[in-house]
Amino acid sequence: MTAQPLTYDAFVELATADPAVVGLVLKGSRAHEGMITRHSDHDLYMVLADDMTTDLTRFAGHRTEELDLVIVSLTAFRAAGMPGFERYALARARVVLDRLDGGVARILADKARLSAEEAFRHSGAWLDAYANSFYRSIKNDRDGHALAARLDAADSIGFLLELLFALDRRPRPYNKYLTWELARHPLPGWDTGELLRAMDRISATGDVDDQRRVFALVETAARQAGHGEVLDAWGEDLDLMRPRQGGRVPPWTWHGDGPHAMCR
């Protein structure tokens, strides 16, 4: 007789009955309301107490169309994504089992919030990376290198997102969840709809006016967050990056009453 594939519900039942398991955490599409499709599997972390063993470790590396399982110790779970690509996934993960009196939930909350020092350091680095790609795009457009200009513009958007979320002390969401994240947790001081539309246009066309318009807003936000030194290091090159005198008036602005200054 062919063995039946291990289902998510069956595994949760096994894990819940095992005292060595201190936490179960579901991440991915099934932890994001409204994002589930017929292709969505269950991305599940099983967290084990550091001083206990279990035969459930035989399922380590289990991966099917329904269940993608990661088994880690509590110590390893605390460190997961700190730093790393997994941080956003765990920041928005859903607790299925927490035998630590809320301890598993607190670990996830810590991943969702950058420290003030970490946010300041990261946002300064991402600001410089964003400015670099944006500046290259502007120069390539000026010099008639249309493809290079568009590619640099598209690159700059990734750095811009890292910057804006770091300024708000949050890990950047995966592209798949960007709209979902901003709809539920807007970036303070930014108009979500206008920001998404601007990034869409810049990624598709590399439009110089759009890029300069966004940079002007970023410069305001970055200086308020204490990153004036990063920007001033660009010297006279800032003149090329800022909106042209007499150019199109921006239809939206960054409002400096958001908590970006918490990164200072």
User: What is the Cα–Cα distance from 140 to 224, expressed in whole angstroms?
Assistant: 30
Q: What is the pLDDT of residue 256?
A: 60
> pTM higher than 0.85 for the full model?
yes
Same domain, 131 and 191: yes
The helix/strand/coil state of 61 is coil
24-57 in b/e burial notation, b at 16+ Cβ within 10 A?
A: bbbbbbbbbeeeeeeeebbbbbbbbbeeeebebe
Specify whether 162 is located in the same domain as 42. Answer: no
Domain assignment present for residue 3? The answer is: no
What span, in angstroms and rounded, lies between the C-alpha atoms of 213 and 223?
Answer: 16
The predicted pLDDT at position 247 comes to: 52
Whether 1 is covered by a domain: the verdict is no
- The domain in which residue 100 lies consists of 8-111
Of all residues in the chain, what percent carry a pLDDT higher than 90?
Answer: 88
Tokens 């390893």, residue located: 76
Residue 235 covered by a domain:
yes
Burial of residue 248 (CB within 10 Å: 0-12, 13-18, 19+) is exposed
Look-up: residue for tokens 């790609």? 133
Residues 105, 109, 113: CA angle, nearest 5 degrees? 175
pLDDT one-digit tens code per residue, 215-226: 999 999 999 999
pLDDT at res. 244: 84
The verdict on 67 and 100 lying in the same domain is yes
Q: What is the pLDDT of residue 262?
A: 35
| 184 lies in some domain | yes
Based on the fold, state whether residues 101 and 135 are members of the same structural domain: no
Question: For the chain, what is the mean pLDDT?
Answer: 92
Q: What's the domain count of the chain?
A: 2
219-245: pLDDT as tens digits: 999 999 999 999 999 999 999 999 987
Q: What's the average model confidence in pLDDT over 117-128?
A: 98
